[in-house]
Structure 1
Amino acid sequence: MAQERAGGAGEVPSWPVYAVGIGGDGVATVDGVAVTGAGTPAGAARVAALAEVRVKAAWHGRPVRVVAADADGERYLIVGVDGAVTTLAGPHPRPAAAPERDRSRPGSADGPLPERYRAEWNRLVELYAAGRDAEATACAQALEEELAGAHGPHHPWAVRAMTVRATVALRGPVADRAAATELLIATAERRLAAGARPAAETTTVINNAHALWHRLRSEVPQAALDLTPRLLALLAGDERRSADVWSWWADRAPSRSGRHG
């Protein structure tokens, strides 16, 4: 088992923050993905989850942040490439976007949208402004997929199209609330991973995800439970919203299924 020790976070970046959940049934999850089966002893489930996070730390080549939650509460950890675990005294800082990219570099990802995409982008803007949400969503998704395929999912143009699609989803019907909440969470995760600018827009997406989740939890509690670990990771550093989410989640710990730890 990784040795826990008291200590500070040092220079560990504020993102990513991985969400670890340990369910009363022995199922451990990392960002909502199960890494152990039902019936696993709590200690073994925790070790397995932290081992999975260690792999992610190795991929990044540096320590990473973790929000670990179980029926006893929530802890804030730093997991190193060597598996060492540091328990922090308080929450992680609010995730921040990466520094501005150097726009002077050849092939910089920033800049005006290429001519080949502009007609479709203008159509998307018009559909959104007219409130034709179904058409706007389809247009944004098609444009996002085309841009991501040509330039990668973290390219600013692809991220922008995804952000518009998530914004449209906010206006969707109650029946689509779970999908819209998941899309907002995924959009915030991608914006943070890409260092998308402006940072204030990323914060807005995170706050919108929390607001929609708040409505979802009274309409479809199970869907809200499934999304809670990822939302908590996004809210690291926002003590008020984290407390709101955690207090609701903790009360339902005994009924959590294996999908959400």
Structure 2
Amino acid sequence: MENREERITLKPDNHDMRLKYYELILESRSLAELPCYPLPEGYRYVYYQEGDKKDWIAIETSAREFILPEEGESAWKRYYAGKEKELENRMFFVETTDGEKVATATAFYEPRDLSGAGWLHWVAVKREYQGKGIAKALISHTLQRLKELGYPSIKIPTQTNTWVAARLYLDFGFRPVPQNAVDSQIGYGILKTLTNHPALAGFEPVPYEGIWDSRMVQIEKRLREQYPGLVHFRVLEENGQDRILYCTESGAGEWDGAL
């Protein structure tokens, strides 16, 4: 197990499984003046068309939402299977002039949410295209579509592990849903430690050494010992058992080691 000094030297990635996980749900009810940002030159928006599922999975995998193709297939089945026709005016891709799809987001909804809010779904940019301003433009474009669809408010599901995205949503004016602010108070404290965002003034920051999940830190250490080219990893819980997936510079797989 890492000692305190080793853990303090850790630096968070923009999608980091080592951070303690808390679900964060943000909301905006002020849709009159949503920020609007243009796409960088050389990119365009296109709607989902039949057959684009493979591109959606590829983008989400590059953005570290998935490691194995089966994860992408499972997520698609859970959220979008049988609703593909709806996606033709709800799911956006950002495409290069050569036709490569490099980012995606969906103006969707959550059937279990009885508030009538629209939901910003599955925002992702391929890793090699991040940092170019694509995410900010795509988010603003998708929020405008939700507004056009007539939703009175918009919610965004995110988590502490994707803290950079959460900071961007705060920049857009989104704020914690009140009940979620209570349920994930520590999570918002972690977000404040990482971002010091003024919108989180009401939350106490978590000490830097306290933002890390020690078990996840240990898993990463063991994986890196076995796979020096480790890029990232995921831990899935299935039937009460953990599956540890890893991605290296040369491929991906499932770890069968023991902690």
Which structure shows the bigger proportion of residues in strand conformation? Answer: 2
